[in-house]
Amino acid sequence: MKTLSAKIKKNPYYVMWFKDAWPYITGAVLLSVFQIATLASTGNPWGVSAVFANWGAWLYELVGGSVDKWYYFASEGAQATLERGFLQDPGTMRNLGIIAGALFATLAASGFKFKKIKSWRQVLAAVLGGLLMGYGARIGFGCNIGALFSGIASFSLSGWVYAVFLFLGAVVGSKLLVKFFM
């Protein structure tokens, strides 16, 4: 196994495709290709954050709660998704796939390292940041992928409006980051 690894590591294609980082423009092209493929094959553009609301609902149901009377989950589609459950939810599989794909990429480049949380500042930033993203994505109808990327590519005015305010939020976030979370 060791010599196989050694051989792999010396292979120029391994180095080019798995070891080295890729340029940003390659990312732009490839993500676009897969976005378009997603729309063509699934009928909807790529989205990430709506799935998290479902995860929240399933967890809530696990501890005895019910979301069936909520407006957000009232539609037939939403109810059907909740009925199918976590293991049969395509959106869930796509999000878990992102984690798996990134894990594979990191391991293949021999770059995996578990990075522990370093300070209480990071804890606060993660908690606050996560809550803001979660709530903001619901009322904004999506996150950087759904509302922004897919929204703009879908020629919706909402995508551009989202972009403007996302940028403003990022400016404020940067100021907060430097002031409190560094």
State yes or no: residue 139 binds another protein (CB under 8 A).
Answer: yes
State yes or no: residue 48 binds another protein (CB under 8 A).
Answer: yes
Q: Are 38 and 153 a contacting pair, CB within 8 Å? A: no
Instruction: For residues 127 and 134, give the distance between their C-alpha atoms in angstroms, rounded to a whole number.
Output: 11
Binding-site size, another protein (CB under 8 A): 132
Instruction: Kindly tell me which of 12 and 118 has the beta carbon lying closer to another protein.
Output: 118
State yes or no: residue 129 binds another protein (CB under 8 A).
Answer: yes
Instruction: For residues 158 and 117, give the distance between their C-alpha atoms in angstroms, rounded to a whole number.
Output: 36
Q: Are 124 and 113 a contacting pair, CB within 8 Å? A: no
* Least Å from the CB of residue 88 to another protein: 7
State yes or no: residue 132 binds another protein (CB under 8 A).
Answer: yes
Contact string (CB under 8 A) for another protein, positions 69-108, x = contact: -xxxx--------------x-xx-xxxxxxxxxxxxxxxx
State yes or no: residue 11 binds another protein (CB under 8 A).
Answer: no
Of 155, 139, 163, 52, residue with least CA distance to 98:
52
Instruction: Kindly tell me which of 79 and 104 has the beta carbon lying closer to another protein.
Output: 104
Of 142, 127, 181, 178, residue with least CA distance to 165:
142
CB neighbour list of residue 126: distance below 8 Å, 6 or more residues apart: 117
- For 13, phi then psi, to 5°, come to -75, -35
Which one among 25, 62, 63, 80 touches another protein, defined by CB under 8 A?
25
Instruction: For residues 162 and 48, give the distance between their C-alpha atoms in angstroms, rounded to a whole number.
Output: 16
Which one among 11, 75, 85, 130 touches another protein, defined by CB under 8 A?
130
Q: Are 89 and 54 a contacting pair, CB within 8 Å? A: yes
Instruction: Kindly tell me which of 79 and 174 has the beta carbon lying closer to another protein.
Output: 174
State yes or no: residue 127 binds another protein (CB under 8 A).
Answer: yes
Which one among 15, 36, 66, 75 touches another protein, defined by CB under 8 A?
36
The footprint of another protein on residues 141-160 (CB under 8 A) is 141-160
